[in-house]
């Protein structure tokens, strides 16, 4: 990476306040900026570091008015926080090699069809009648079953497992250890107390621009499809059960579990270790706080829930005040 301040401004649609020719070669946090680094400032709590920083370039909000001299060149943008994400994407894209490669010990079935400049790492397997879109990168030791459809510009990190029949959209990122399309947890109790396995004949559909992080599992449906809609982001160690539907741009944080046949709305946030029972619906823009369990459908959009079982966040805080008061007596 080597960028001038003016190039950064061009990428971010910002403007330069200072030397447009100053060059940066790395990123750094605002509190540890050094020459040759680019930092960003968005949180007012960190303003003191803007004046003390030795970074060459600092990305700031366009309305920032410094109260002291700033030695670094500033690049002013509408939103510094989202701008640094865009710059990281830009730099990563420049580094990414879109070259055709087939690992010596990879296995690609003869009926599989791979697009332009698909990268297949060592010891990866691609099954029969599977389709892989252009510029997709499959790292070593990835398993992709039969009749899988994969879009363009995807990245699958080592240890990813994609079971047969799954459908993956464009620009999907699957981090190490993700399992897509394993059987759901379905067993029928028998009179003798044992259980008979219920076969799962459906699949998993992952739409465009979804990222699923390490060691998350998404089970295929008994019938029909388990669906993760466009733009959803799923953290590490999340369990999404059979026949679940996750809405567009919903964020699911680590160690959350969603039981079968539940429908999560659009733009929801499920914080860490949230638990969602099966066969319910959660309205759009719902926030479920950490360690909260949801045991019935949520029908009103845009509300926050907390507790076990979860209820309205504002009511929870009022109840918590009373709880603390009673504990002092």
**Enzyme catalytic residues:** 242
CA pair distance 302, 300, nearest whole angstrom: 7
Phi-psi region of 166 (alpha: psi -120 to 50; beta: other; left: phi over 0): beta
End-to-end CA distance of the chain: 61
Pairing state of beta strands 73-77 and 15-17?
antiparallel
Pairing state of beta strands 310-312 and 304-307?
antiparallel
Give the dihedral sign, CA 91/95/98/104: negative
Q: For the chain, percent helix, then strand, then coil, each to nearest 5?
A: 15, 30, 55
CA pair distance 269, 85, nearest whole angstrom: 20
* Contact criterion met (CB below 8 Å) for 157 and 141: no
The most distant pair of C-alpha atoms in the chain lies apart, rounded to whole Å, by: 80
CA pair distance 159, 149, nearest whole angstrom: 18
Our CA angle for 141, 142, 143, nearest 5°, is 120
Pairing state of beta strands 179-182 and 73-77?
unpaired
DSSP 8-state class, residue 73:
E
Residue 159: how many other CB atoms lie within 10 Å: 18
Please provide the size of the chain in residues: 329
């Amino acid at each position: 990476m080597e960028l001038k301040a003016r190039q950064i401004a061009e990428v971010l649609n910002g403007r330069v306040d200072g030397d447009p020719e100053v060059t940066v070669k790395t990123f750094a946090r605002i509190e540890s900026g050094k020459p040759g680094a680019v930092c960003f400032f968005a949180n007012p709590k960190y303003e003191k570091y803007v004046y003390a920083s030795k970074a060459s370039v600092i990305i700031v909000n366009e309305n920032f008015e410094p109260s002291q001299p700033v030695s670094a060149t500033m690049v002013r943008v509408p939103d510094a926080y989202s701008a640094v994400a865009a710059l990281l994407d830009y730099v990563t894209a420049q580094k990414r090699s879109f070259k055709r490669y087939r690992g010596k010990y990879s296995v690609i079935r003869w009926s599989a069809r791979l697009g332009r400049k698909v990268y297949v790492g060592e010891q990866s397997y691609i099954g029969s009648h599977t389709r892989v879109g252009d510029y997709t990168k499959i790292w070593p030791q990835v398993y992709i079953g039969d009749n899988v459809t994969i879009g363009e510009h995807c990245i699958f990190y080592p240890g990813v497992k994609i079971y047969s029949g799954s459908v993956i959209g464009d620009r999907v990122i699957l981090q190490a250890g993700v399992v897509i399309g394993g059987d759901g947890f379905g067993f029928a109790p028998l009179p003798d107390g044992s259980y008979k396995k219920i076969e799962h004949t459906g699949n998993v559909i992952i739409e465009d621009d979804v990222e699923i992080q390490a060691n998350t599992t998404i089970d295929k449906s008994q019938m029909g499809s388990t669906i993760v809609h466009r733009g959803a982001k799923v953290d590490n160690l999340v369990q999404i059960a059979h026949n679940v539907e996750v809405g567009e741009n919903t964020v699911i944080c680590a160690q959350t579990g969603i039981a079968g046949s539940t429908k999560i709305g659009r733009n929801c946030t499920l914080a860490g270790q949230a638990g969602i029972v099966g066969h319910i619906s959660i309205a759009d823009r719902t926030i479920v706080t950490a360690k909260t369990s949801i045991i019935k459908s949520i029908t009103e959009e845009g509300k926050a829930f907390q507790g076990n079982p979860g209820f309205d966040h504002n009511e929870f805080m009022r109840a918590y005040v009373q709880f603390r008061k009673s504990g002092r007596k």
